[in-house]
Structure 1
């Protein structure tokens, strides 16, 4: 906050397409989809109109003891497009609260079945699932989570397969993850309620992409040892990875799946936790049994948010968004090839239109920059000067553009990204040389 106050804060006034415009009239490409959630761009007429139309009916009515039309229609649509078997929808207002719901559902599921020993969870190293207490409990990024550890419930941590940081590459990273999971389940499956995972792409840890087949093997182990599988699709859902959901890439159906961010096209805060009928049935009982899932939000199933989400999903169909992501991802991958041999680019990780470029001091040894050098921050600041907004994850530069970005716009954005990386890393070299 000290540095933010001392700087010249960027204040956004409006948006047009894939650009944001500040109060000074300066235009910037939205190179990180306003924190990974914008799908169709800004100020989209169809999405604007959906909100206006619903506003003329009702802005909000509770789902406690009643329902509303957009929430029912959206639930039906989510079940239609979700991995087969996810048949029930529980609304919330953000990805973190959606994760809280999934964790609580998994815990209570076993208690409702009379199995009281299953109380712990498995998460993955460097996992991020939100900033509320339950979500932080299953988080494993020291910078974000360690200060709160005394407040949190315990969990088991296994490695997320990070090929770049593993001597054995993809095969070795995958084997370590699967072996660790199998060993843990062999020892403690009777105590474990669920495993939670960011499927295919781990976001906040630096856009780390799973080796092929890893998610499928994780699901198979969970099934074999009677442990629920929770997929956190908040960042990866709604076309971002080249399929509607990342689980679709390997034909996986989790027991619980959390969605948010892109659900409303980036317009309003709506999230949802999807469950299988098997999970639902554990809560379906007579009043006297007291198996109710006691959880609610004031704005759950908000009609305005659900209406714009429906309009967004309609645009997915009309504009063939998911298939276009695959084509656009191929274009971006080809464009970024220019960076692969750069002496300070250690790794370029990509799945669909989720891209992370890891900057290193030495490409050969993979020696990282020190955090105090803030190479990621400085590169993002240079990109801003060149006309594009993004935010780094440590030394990883994130590029997650709106899915609606045209090839010409992606060309401009990647050109800025490449130039910013070259400018900052080469400037760093000159400063070091001069200092010595």
Structure 2
């Protein structure tokens, strides 16, 4: 019995209908932008293994940092204790972020980073005896994770319908997704702002916070909006003293062409959620970053105002060491150059795909490129054929996206687009 068969007998995989799913591909190693299966077949990882891998698989500098840290300290309780990797990581991030984002709270993954922000936002008001602020604002199609708070604010994403009766109250706003050549974007934005204003007119004093994925809604299909729309939304909600949460779990660390998507707006949020690429794809780690003003609302001689939240592996030293190494790589000039080359290759690649009559809504930001295909079944055929030809993609519904590690060369990416073009022409 090979590894894939053994897997099928015992493993329950995420986001998978196990009844209809075939055998999983057994991967034995990764190097650079490629994964290798048991038979040494290579796959160009065009989705950064669920958007976590920044610099390529098995990067030796990150691996070395983890090894060296493991020989000194693998873990320590983070209540009443601290360690150098945690402090150094937060100092490095603070230097990259707007200075007002100065307090860092560790957790384990993107969902919990969001959960922390939601709980902090609610308790911020609660600690000031403003107990009526129990409602959150979010965008239709937004996806913020799979814990109950995160599911609640992503309630209209379609991922969590089975849990609808268990989720808390959320007001949603249409997301004015746009693409190359979109002539209706201003009308869509105006409508979204009208819906938002109606919510504010009705119950602004009951809204704790607005949460959004700045510039790109990832899991709903790499849907993109304009920075000027984000600016208008945040200015409006702040007229009503509503807190703002930026979920940059996916968009952080260079994905949108800047270190963080917030840099392309005029906005500094009250909370910033980070994970995925934080450790360069090596280990689970997350941060919720907030302001001194929010932090001070939790300070009191009485413990009841403290933020009573934590995880056993909070600020794990190995994860922190990986994140420091990944940040050091991110800050190198050659990484910025790679990000530019990937963007240019996306431009060239999507222009190539325009010869395929079955695609529409092409869109690019930074290292993220996406297009919609005629239907779901065609997208799934494309996925299967790409795997046959050594390309790892994972369509989101009928949306196909490419989000490669920064180790991917422009030539590799253009070659991948050529293969996708040929496959699309053959299956439709």
TM-score range, shorter chain: over 0.9
CA deviation vs aligned residue, 1:52-88 (integer Å, no higher than 9, x gap): 1101101111111111110111111111112342111
Query: Could you tell me which residue of structure 2 aligns to residue 284 of structure 1?
Result: 299
**2:389 is matched with which residue: 373, 380, 386?**
386
Note the residue ranges of structure 2 that are not aligned, 5 or more in a row: 1-17
CA deviation vs aligned residue, 1:305-348 (integer Å, no higher than 9, x gap): 00010001001122442453134202211222022242211211
Query: Structure 2 length normalisation: TM-score?
Result: 0.92
Matches within 5 A, 1:335-354: 335-354=349-368
Query: Could you tell me which residue of structure 1 aligns to residue 407 of structure 2?
Result: 404
CA deviation vs aligned residue, 1:122-159 (integer Å, no higher than 9, x gap): 01111100011111011134531111001111110111
Matches within 5 A, 1:81-92: 81-92=96-107
Query: Could you tell me which residue of structure 1 aligns to residue 128 of structure 2?
Result: 113
CA distance in structure 1 between the partners assigned to 2:312 and 2:200 by the alignment = 38
Secondary structure at 1:213 match in 2: helix
Query: Could you tell me which residue of structure 2 aligns to residue 295 of structure 1?
Result: 309
CA distance in structure 2 between the partners assigned to 1:401 and 1:200 by the alignment = 18
Secondary structure at 1:290 match in 2: helix
Give the CA deviation at 1:237: 0.4
Query: Structure 1 length normalisation: TM-score?
Result: 0.91
Distance 1:171 1:252, change over 3 A: same
CA distance in structure 1 between the partners assigned to 2:81 and 2:102 by the alignment = 19
Query: Could you tell me which residue of structure 2 aligns to residue 3 of structure 1?
Result: 20
**1:317 is matched with which residue: 331, 340, 354?**
331
Does residue 333 in structure 1 map to residue 350 in structure 2? Answer: no
CA deviation vs aligned residue, 1:71-117 (integer Å, no higher than 9, x gap): 11111111111234211100011000000000000000001112111
Q: Is the 8 A contact 1:380 1:397 kept in 2?
A: no
Distance 1:43 1:128, change over 3 A: same
Matches within 5 A, 1:2-401: 2-4=19-21, 7-141=22-156, 143-163=158-178, 169-286=184-301, 288=302, 290-360=304-374, 369=375, 371=376, 374-401=377-404
Q: Is the 8 A contact 1:171 1:211 kept in 2?
A: no
Query: Could you tell me which residue of structure 2 aligns to residue 420 of structure 1?
Result: 423
Q: Is the 8 A contact 2:141 2:158 kept in 1?
A: no
CA distance in structure 2 between the partners assigned to 1:314 and 1:180 by the alignment = 43
Structure 1 segments of 4+ aligned residues over 6 angstroms from their partners: none
CA deviation vs aligned residue, 1:213-262 (integer Å, no higher than 9, x gap): 01111221121110000000001000000000011111321000100000
Between 1:11-20 and 1:316-325, the stretch displaced more is 316-325
CA distance in structure 1 between the partners assigned to 2:330 and 2:259 by the alignment = 9
Query: Could you tell me which residue of structure 1 aligns to residue 7 of structure 2?
Result: none
Query: Could you tell me which residue of structure 2 aligns to residue 434 of structure 1?
Result: none
Distance 1:337 1:262, change over 3 A: same
Q: Is the 8 A contact 1:174 1:211 kept in 2?
A: no
